[in-house]
Amino acid sequence: MVPISVVNTLESLRARFFWGADKGERRMHWVCWDRVLAQIKNGGLGGGSLYSFNWAMPYKRRWRFFHNSDLIWVKVVKAIYGRDGGCSSFSHRRGSIGPWNGVIQMLSHLHNPDLDLRPLSPIRVGDGNKTSFWHDVWKGDTHLAASFHRIYALDLHKSISVRDRVLLGWNLDCLRRPLRGGIEEPN
């Protein structure tokens, strides 16, 4: 994610170039800048907005993270942030810096209950080895830890994969204590 001040400067330089103005010189703008940036099919020149590009980059990184697990940077991110890279819970580490922490921060800012773009790059379960049972959205519209928070609170294996959960099943060894007749109170 590029800082907004840099995006503003780049957008200003691009506009001045388009209008044919030198630095410090002002020229008449015969067309609204938004019209210039609009897609050709919408009557624009197809320039595209650097702001939109800047906001789209975290989603592009997220998509590459989940679809290119053999890349070295993906392995490093998983080693630091866990199997999901911190994308499902948006858990960035306080005081942590670096490109991936910036991606997680941007995704958390972009997460809006009314407009969640995460389903546009869904997780494919496959054999279930790379999909988190509790934290990835692989069944329904939300992750299972949110849907079944009381069972999640009891589970000893919170970072278990779908594959391992199917192989291990649900037995008393996977819960911190026995169930209380189906009624669970958070501790």
What tens digit of pLDDT does each residue of 123-165 get? 667 777 778 888 777 777 777 888 888 888 888 888 888 888 8
Task: Assess whether pLDDT exceeds 80 at residue 78.
Answer: yes
* Per-residue confidence band for 72, with pLDDT thresholds at 50, 70 and 90: very high
* φ, ψ dihedrals at 77, nearest 5°: -60, -40
- Average pLDDT of the chain is 76
For 8-44, how does the pLDDT look when each residue is reduced to its tens digit (9 = 90+)?
899 888 887 877 877 777 777 777 878 888 888 888 8
CA distance 43 to 38: 7
Helix (H), strand (E) at residue 103: helix 99-110
Give pLDDT, residue 121: 57
Using a 10 angstrom Cβ sphere, with 0-12 exposed, 13-18 middle and 19 or more buried, the burial of residue 65 is: buried
Q: What is the pLDDT of residue 183?
A: 57
Q: Tell me how far apart the alpha carbons of residues 122 and 101 are, in angstroms, rounded to a whole number.
A: 21
Is pLDDT larger for residue 113 or for residue 15? 15
